[in-house]
Amino acid sequence: MRNITVIGAGATGIAFSATLVEQGHNVTLFELEKDAAHLKELEKRGKIVRTGYGPQGDVALPRMTTAVAEAVPNAELIFIAVVANRHELICKTIAPYLHDGQTVCFFNGNCGSIRLKRLTAGKDIVVGETVGTYTSTRYLGDGVVHFASMPKSPKSVAAFPARDSSRLVERIGECYPTVCYPDVPVHNVFEGSLNSPNVSIHLVASLLCVSAMERSLDFRLYRDGVCPSTLTMIRAVEAEKEAVFSKFGYKSNSYFGQIEACLNFDADPRPNLAGFRLTTGPNGVSHRYISEDAFAGDCLLVSLGEALGVDTPVLRSAVTMAGVLNGINYLKQGLTLKSLGLEGRSADEIHSFLETGEL
């Protein structure tokens, strides 16, 4: 049994907490007071209720708190399951309470590990990220979490710096089976973050469907928003990503086939896509499919392309459009080489930094 804290009481945090409780670990679910509405719903329900295409059955509640001093110092492992837009605040909140020997892992990290590592300089803490999130989930309210698919295992991970990746795998593998380079070719947190399917799919596909999502009470992107034009845009984004990756020698994963299968589902109904196609949302331009991915992965890819002389017109346009819709200049305020302190660095210097943590 391990002492584990999960930070973030959204769908992922609640679903993963239930899995850890079921495994027999001592689990704490932490959320900031201002975002703690789901904790109050869970407390009222008295259990976590799981529905959908993943694990079934009700699960006892983890310990729940909004007090960081209760959630962080005694945890051996800490999993952070919040959108990238919240990483800076969460990192600043927990950093003073972290100490030698702890391990922190971000779901779908978006380089949150770099931010946290800098705030904990001098402490022997292993910090890393998963490629993608735990699994596709939605919180339905009243203590109910819906799984759109079964969690996949093992999950690719990378630490920052990458030389700690094997330590990360060793420490979290008991409760969350993982692999790292060279077993699975994710060299570092840049390659991991940018190989999330979110980067290729969420932003461009959602922007094509803004009118439909704003007029519908039940819009579902992978059921209602996938069409030949969506596939064309996703293919274009993947081509831009591949061009940037080639500068580093990274492998660019493609998710085109999965989305194409969603389009052709009626003719070829694949069981593993049934729940995925019914995943709800986005329901507006502030949804994380737009606000998080414009801020994080897509913005970082544009920034990398600009620094390395690789043109990314589709992604740049998408990030700009998202900024207009949300009133935010993501290209200036989002995740960029400048915000990570890597502006003006060459591909070799960036790669070395991600491996060693040193410039």
The pLDDT of residue 153 is 79
Report, as an integer, the average pLDDT of 206-222: 96
The percent of residues above 90 in pLDDT, for the chain, comes to 91
Whether residue 296 has pLDDT greater than 90: yes
Enter the pTM of the model. Answer: 0.96
pLDDT for residue 270 is more than 90: no
pLDDT at position 182 is: 82
Give the pLDDT band of residue 171 (cuts 50, 70, 90).
Answer: very high
User: Is the distance from CB of 354 to CB of 165 less than 8 angstroms?
Assistant: no
DSSP string, 167-228: HHHHHHTTTS-EE-TTTS---SHHHHHHTSHHHHHHHHHHHTTHHHHHH-SS-BHHHHS--H
Mean pLDDT of 221-235: 96
Q: Averaged over 135-149, what is the pLDDT?
A: 95
Q: So what's the pLDDT on residue 272?
A: 83
Q: Which residues pair with 327 in a beta bridge?
A: none
Q: Is the pLDDT of residue 268 over 90?
A: no
Percent pLDDT > 70 in the chain is 100
Q: What is the mean pLDDT of the chain?
A: 95
Over 90: is that where the pLDDT of 337 sits?
A: yes
pLDDT at 318 over 90: yes
- What tokens appear for 281 in the block? 């949302």
pLDDT band per the 50, 70, 90 thresholds, residue 220: very high
Phi–psi pair at 67, nearest 5 degrees:
-100, 110
